[in-house]
Amino acid sequence: MFECGDDDFMARGRNLDELMEIAKMHSEKQHGMKISNEEAKAKIKEV
């Protein structure tokens, strides 16, 4: 699960790669920030 603490956005995915892409896309589109795979992975937690 990926949660953005800045705007309460939350997403679930089928696997880590899918969630990393969602996190990167959200960060860029909503916050104008490009993040690395490592940064995206750090924001993902298993539920």
Quick one: pLDDT band at residue 47, thresholds 50, 70, 90? confident
> What is the pTM for the complete model shown?
0.86
DSSP character string of the chain? -EEETTTTEEE--SSHHHHHHHHHHHHHHHH-----HHHHHHTB---
Residues 16-39 have a mean pLDDT of 96
